[in-house]
Structure 1
Amino acid sequence: MPQDPAIHDPVVHALVSRLRRLPPSCGPVRLVGVDGHAGSGKSTFAGRVAAALGGAPVLHLDDLACHHDLFGWTGRLRAQVIEPLARGTTAHYAPYDWRARRYGPPRPLPVAPVVLVEGVGVGRRAVRPSLACLLWMDLPPEESWARGRARDGAEQREFWDGWVAAERAHFAADPSRPHAHALVRQSEQGYEVLPGPSAPSGAGPSSP
């Protein structure tokens, strides 16, 4: 079975080494947020980092959002995930079924040295105190949304029209990028991790 290329990606490997050295932020867990505009590649990058960590747990915020409340997941994230992890116990969250439009049976999210949470707005002010590190996928919004629309096809056109307006409103009121410790950029050559606006003074390239 072929190995995930992220395991041998020097940029991802360097980032992972730094994440492991961070102090815990949520009980025994280093909670790492991967934020960015919809379509910017958050899920893919979070998956690569998780693989390089040896299979770290990943929570997708799409599982906590829902059709009628796209950005109203803070209470669910806190009660179902952050509070249990802060106690050092396995979290259980109810994933939303976007086709059936209802929440399903709970899934476990185990305690681990690093747990990744990826999704638009994970760097919001209500969540930041629980994060050890905030990564921002640094792709402009229009380019991100175009990628997302192409990925989801014509059947999701109406959803995307509503989503773009909701995302604009969210980031206007509660921006994440200014608080990112690192900016993640992707090109044909691979990933690049640069110091973000909230990186410690003097942080060099690839330092979260």
Structure 2
Amino acid sequence: MLAFDGPSGAGKSTAALEALSLLGSRAALVTTDAFATWASPVSWWPELVSGVLEPLAAGRSGSYRRMDWSTGVPRPGARVAVEVPEVLVLEGVSCGRRSVRPLLSLLCWVEGGTEAGRLAAAVARDGEAQRAELRKWQLFERGWFAVDGTRDAAAVRLPGTAGADQPKH
């Protein structure tokens, strides 16, 4: 398993899609966007474990119900099947959480520049109507990552794609 974690708007999806492109048909992608809601940013994890991670570990296909945001309010959507891949790519906030790290082959942290730059990227992606929720999400994830120690646990740190205000290394 390969995980791309980091703050909202950092460029995790872009990095994960690049990895998928390189891995081709040997890989499958599961994103935390399919599970998380404003009210439940990380507590959905047991659904991913029981629906996807455990079946795949046993050599069986898994599945999960994707969150449908088409009305602007999250509700359970279509069921998504996940065939047993050679490499499972996890992408999104909290996918590199402490409880899954022993199972990961690689944890990549995507930096993504400043909070302001990441917020601008997330608003550009999700729409101006989501700005207040995205800002609350940023505050939540700041605390989550500090407690979980995700960034420090990552073997690889990527600069991300949140815009021109990337930190200079």
| TM-score, length of structure 2 as denominator length | 0.85
Matched, 1:174 2:148: yes
In 2, the alpha carbon distance for the partners of 1:61 and 1:67 equals 12
Matched, 1:156 2:130: yes
State the partner residue of 1:106. Answer: 79
Q: Following TM superposition, by how much is the alpha carbon of 1:72 offset from its aligned partner in structure 2, in angstroms?
A: 1.0
Alpha-carbon distance change, 135 to 57 in structure 1, aligned in 2, over 3 angstroms: same
| Equivalent residue in structure 2 for 1:116, among 69, 81, 89 | 89
Q: Following TM superposition, by how much is the alpha carbon of 1:175 offset from its aligned partner in structure 2, in angstroms?
A: 2.2
Note the aligned Cα RMSD (angstroms). Answer: 1.7
SS in 1 for 2:90: strand
> What does residue range 36-115 of structure 1 map to in structure 2 within 5 Å?
36-55=6-25, 56-98=27-69, 99-115=72-88
Alpha-carbon distance change, 47 to 86 in structure 1, aligned in 2, over 3 angstroms: same
SS in 2 for 1:93: strand
State the partner residue of 1:16. Answer: none
In 2, the alpha carbon distance for the partners of 1:169 and 1:117 equals 21
1:109-153 alpha-carbon deviations (Å, 9 max, x no partner): 111111100001111111112211101113234132332123333
Q: Following TM superposition, by how much is the alpha carbon of 1:186 offset from its aligned partner in structure 2, in angstroms?
A: 4.9
- 8 Å Cα contact 1:37-1:145 kept in structure 2: no
Larger radius of gyration: 1
SS in 2 for 1:88: coil
State the partner residue of 1:3. Answer: none
Higher relative contact order (CA 8 A, sep 6+): 2
Alpha-carbon distance change, 167 to 54 in structure 1, aligned in 2, over 3 angstroms: same
1:102 counterpart letter in structure 2: R
Q: Percent identity?
A: 36
Number of positions where the alignment pairs a residue of Structure 1 with one of Structure 2 = 157
> What does residue range 114-153 of structure 1 map to in structure 2 within 5 Å?
114-142=87-115, 143-153=117-127
SS in 2 for 1:139: coil
In 1, the alpha carbon distance for the partners of 2:80 and 2:19 equals 21
In 1, the alpha carbon distance for the partners of 2:73 and 2:134 equals 18
In 2, the alpha carbon distance for the partners of 1:134 and 1:42 equals 12
State the partner residue of 2:167. Answer: none
| TM-score, length of structure 1 as denominator length | 0.70
- 8 Å Cα contact 1:37-1:141 kept in structure 2: no
Matched, 1:185 2:159: yes
